[in-house]
Amino acid sequence: MAHNRDGYTIGRLSKLSGLPVKTIRFYSDAGVLPERDRTPAGYRLYGEEDLARLELVRTLREVGVDLATIRSLGERDLRQVLALHLRTVETRLRALQRTRAVLRATLDKPDPSEADLHRLNSLGRLGAAERDALLDAFVAEVGGGNAARERWLTGLRDAMIPELPAEPTVEQLDAWLELAELLSDEEYRAGLRARSDAFWKRQQESPPMDLSAWHEVNDALERTVTTAIARGVDAGSPEAGPVLDEVMALLGRVYGERDSPEYRRSTARAYEEHDPRATRQWQLAAVIQGTPWPPPQTVVHEWIAAALRAHAPTDT
């Protein structure tokens, strides 16, 4: 008998659902459609709820949800499953769009190069999981166990490696790959940590530096130098002297230093020892985001560095 008060046989379920017996048996064996019972002869039996679940399983499979996720429906509601699948689909779409952009750019060339092949081979490193793992390692290593520095770096996570746009250009893809290489460089990480140690160690002292005051001074610094640049004051000119005096007074206020020849020399050395790769890091981020370069802060500090070279006392 195909159907009785105890349920549907697999053959009857096949006719009602329109799915082959082989498919239903596969779903049962895979655990996404557990059998309810068996007849005395050993035939599987299913209920009305199984017919409804089978329709759900078929629909989810048609939109690409994997069997493991469907099997977990007993632990999650349908909304969670569909939201998870949407994120999966969107991730795959972004990966496909990146691949399409690279392939189009490569095929536009009469003679693709090894650089083009390297770009294609590197596409797998552009995913969200790879980005998060890289940033986790960068924050941990540059943070060096200093809680204040790690909090600051965590706040910069999204800015350090921005998300690629849906249709990235080859330039944006190359910038992402170069940025990933830079942030993975152990020597670069160690240098950033060493050069910022003195500042961040002060944040663990009692009392720590007032970071709100630090931000206020930086804003004042930017206004002072931007105004001078707008007036056409060249960093190497005599007119830059009074501006540099104001700059050093602002820096001394936040760092607890008195303006002096030695302080000017040490500040000049700090600018000279600045790793150009740190500037390159933010330039690459700007390429990925499609934002103008250089930003006002970079212009300001380049002017200060030039003014110190021109006006700071030399070491004796």
Summarize pLDDT for 132-157 with one digit per residue, the tens.
888 999 999 999 988 888 988 998 98
Q: What is the DSSP string of 150-183?
A: HHHHHHTHHHHSPPPPSS--HHHHHHHHHHHHHH
Flag whether pLDDT at 46 surpasses 90. Answer: no
- HSE-up of 260 (CA within 13 Å, CB side)? 6
For residue range 256-296, what is the model confidence (pLDDT) as tens digits? 889 999 999 999 999 999 999 999 999 999 999 999 999 99
More confident residue, 88 or 54: 54
Q: Is the peptide bond before 261 cis (omega within 30 degrees of 0)?
A: no
Check if the beta carbon of residue 70 is closer than 8 Å to that of residue 59.
no
**Backbone torsion region of residue 145, taken as left when φ is above 0, otherwise alpha when ψ lies between -120 and 50, otherwise beta:** left
Mean pLDDT lowest for which of 38-42, 78-82, 302-306?
A: 78-82
- Percent with pLDDT over 90 in the chain: 35
Mean pLDDT of 71-98: 75
Instruction: Please tell me the predicted confidence (pLDDT) of residue 4.
Output: 47
Task: Of 25-29, 77-81, 93-97, give the range with the top mean pLDDT.
Answer: 25-29
Look at the pTM and tell me if it is higher than 0.75: no
- The helix/strand/coil state of 38 is strand
Check if the beta carbon of residue 257 is closer than 8 Å to that of residue 263.
yes
Instruction: Please tell me the predicted confidence (pLDDT) of residue 268.
Output: 93
- For 153-171, b/e burial (b = at least 16 CB within 10 A) is beeeeeebbbebeeebebe
Q: Domain coordinates of the chain in residue numbers? A: 3-74, 102-184, 210-311
Flag whether pLDDT at 162 surpasses 80. Answer: yes
Instruction: Please tell me the predicted confidence (pLDDT) of residue 315.
Output: 57
Question: Which amino acid makes up residue 158?
Answer: D
* Residue 7 parent element (H or E): strand 7-9
| Residue 59 pLDDT grade (very low, low, confident, very high; cuts 50, 70, 90) | confident
Which one, of 218, 216, 304, 209, lies nearest residue 255 by Cα?
209
The yes/no answer on whether domain 3-74 falls in CATH 1.10.1660.10 is yes
